[in-house]
Amino acid sequence: MTVRAAALPRLPSSGRTPVVGTVTRGTTNPNRLRRMDRWIAAVHGAELRRAEHPVTVDLGYGAAPWTAVELLHRLRSVAPRTHVVGVEIEPARVAAARPYEREGLVFRHGGFEVPVPGRPLLVRAANVLRQYDEAEVAAVWQRLCARLAPADPATGSRGGLLVEGTCDEIGRRHVWVALGPEGPRTVTFATRLGSLERPSDLAERLPKALIHRNVPGEPVHAFLRDFDRAWAAAAPYASYGARQRWIRAVRDLAAHWPVTDGPVRWRQGEVTVRWEALAPRG
């Protein structure tokens, strides 16, 4: 990727490892991250099931612990041994979350150093980097990827997953990047189809690494332009419903872009594309 790595702020910490990052607005909502949770359960459930102690992290869960509680429930439905650690950089938000601890769910004060023992199988950071500078993204990604469980060729494991992205207040429009220990893998666009006028409506929810790159000459801009064209060409399918129109448009798009998923995910109002195809130029 081409965004510039920058020094990250370190906050004083009572523990031994410095807390890395900056306190930002704590906006959250119940069920806001359902699309991301379901995608993680679908694509990463097998990795979580295979592990003896699958530890996952909801990094920057915000002013209330809803997203961490929901992540636990959704992941346990596919991998019953999953544990979730909610990590927040704002100490008062950790204190407010503690009463919601339960079997499989704890809350910890910390930042991008990810204060959990061992190497987690999942770090989910939703609506966290949006409030940082674009120049900081590369360093944060590198740091978080280095904390993930490594790949293990002996078992066929690809290792842990970092899922970093942005959505609107109630989770109707969502875009995220998935990264493995080796770096960025894919970009996923997910939307409530009933409220979509055109695919480029999702542009305002692009993750920090891409949102400033939605300009002519950049791959993500070309992708959304082609997606809008495919959507327009698929207009006759609207009489069968927005889902059929989306599936048709994505099928056309896949002729020119490296789409990595298929109709099972497209039916959910999703499409996933290889990162390299959308990575910023220059």
Ligand X SMILES: C[S@@+](CC[C@H](N)C(=O)[O-])C[C@H]1O[C@@H](n2cnc3c(N)ncnc32)[C@H](O)[C@@H]1O
The contact set with ligand X (CB under 6 A) reads 21-28, 32-33, 59-62, 67, 87-90, 93, 111-112, 126-128
CB of 282 to ligand X, least distance (A): 27
For ligand X, give the closer residue by CB, 63 or 242. Answer: 63
Token couple for 269: 């109002």
How many residues can be counted in the chain?
282
CA–CA distance, 137 with 188 (Å, rounded to integer): 18
Q: Measured at the alpha carbon of residue 176, what is the angle toward residues 258 and 65, in degrees to the nearest 5?
A: 155
Give one DSSP letter per residue of 171-191, joined into a string. Answer: SSEEEEEEEETTEEEEEEEEE
Name the residue with the smallest CB distance to ligand X.
21
For ligand X, give the closer residue by CB, 17 or 155. Answer: 17
CB of 101 to ligand X, least distance (A): 17
CB of 91 to ligand X, least distance (A): 10
CA–CA distance, 210 with 280 (Å, rounded to integer): 7
For ligand X, give the closer residue by CB, 23 or 51. Answer: 23
CB of 122 to ligand X, least distance (A): 14
| Residue partners of 75: CB distance under 8 A and separation at least 6 | 37, 40, 41, 45, 48, 54, 56, 82, 84, 122
CB of 126 to ligand X, least distance (A): 4
For ligand X, give the closer residue by CB, 90 or 252. Answer: 90
For ligand X, give the closer residue by CB, 54 or 111. Answer: 111
